[in-house]
Amino acid sequence: MEDFWNTSTKRKDQVRYRQSRSYSPYSEFFSDWKTEKDGVTYLSINAFYRFDEVMEPLFHASAINEKQRDWLFDVFMHYLIELEFRTGATKAERDVHLMMDEIKNGCYRSEIARIYQGLSDKEKYYVAHLVMKQKETGESVFHFAEALSVLLENAIVYKNKFDDKNLLLYVGKRENAFDQGKIRLASELFEPLGYRLTVFWEKHFAVLEEKQTMEIDEIELL
């Protein structure tokens, strides 16, 4: 979150905003940061998380074409970000930082605090944010899957078609202690009671009609 504010306020003339293609009603996730050769940085943001009343008419206006919508979205976000920056932190933002302190201080067990300290600032913020959202919504499975996807950048989470209580995690890299810790943290904070997580590291499990997952000696058995 800190690097987002630094970029969006200190370099605001070189920032362009666009609506994130991947988002949920529970999170304000920033992704796909990209700086072009001309120095302009494109930031993707889920504007519907807090600015739904402003953005809903914009995205449903049939008289506005896509190019106009992208331009108006950027203008609106520059104004809204500047307004929010001037009015100070919201209660929700304060609550997330308080949750960060609780996790770091061992309120969720000392082992979790130790793993949490090793995360990046962005990961720490996002984990605390998800803990807050889980408390508000009571939705555990969704936040568990989201936490795994955020902490393990290229990981994919599946639900076992033959067992509703079994989640499948494909990490896509060699097994290592650091990522094991991230999985343990996510499991402790978000995994619902009665659920099980099966982890696949380098080799994917077989998926019918998906050729890249059906190569001999390159798949794991469920």
Read off the pLDDT of residues 36-80 as tens digits, 9 standing for 90 and up: 777 788 888 888 777 778 888 888 888 888 889 889 988 988 888
Confidence of residue 147 (pLDDT cuts 50, 70, 90): very high
Q: Could you tell me if 116 and 104 are in contact, meaning their C-beta atoms sit under 8 angstroms apart?
A: yes
Share of the chain above pLDDT 70, in %: 77
Q: Is the pLDDT at 194 greater than 60, yes or no?
A: yes
* Beta-bridge partners for 159: 167
What mean pLDDT is reported for the chain?
A: 80
Distance from the Cα of residue 90 to its chain's centroid: 20
Mean pLDDT of the 123-140 span? 90
Maximum separation of any 2 CA atoms in the chain, in Å: 59
Helices (H), the chain: 2-5, 52-59, 66-87, 91-104, 110-117, 121-137, 141-151, 177-190
CA 180, 181, 184, 185 torsion-angle sign: negative
Question: Which of 120, 184, 131, 188 has its CA nearest to residue 153?
Answer: 120
Residue 118 has what DSSP assignment?
T
Share of the chain above pLDDT 90, in %: 32
pLDDT value of residue 210: 43
* Beta-bridge partners for 158: 168
Q: How many CB atoms lie within 10 A of CB 151?
A: 20
Among 89-98, 154-163, 186-195, where is mean pLDDT lowest?
89-98
pTM listed for this prediction? 0.57
Q: How many CB atoms lie within 10 A of CB 49?
A: 17
pLDDT value of residue 53: 81
Confidence of residue 25 (pLDDT cuts 50, 70, 90): low
Q: Is the pLDDT at 9 greater than 70, yes or no?
A: no
pLDDT value of residue 106: 94
The Cα 135–Cα 140 span in angstroms is 9
Confidence of residue 26 (pLDDT cuts 50, 70, 90): low
pLDDT value of residue 219: 42
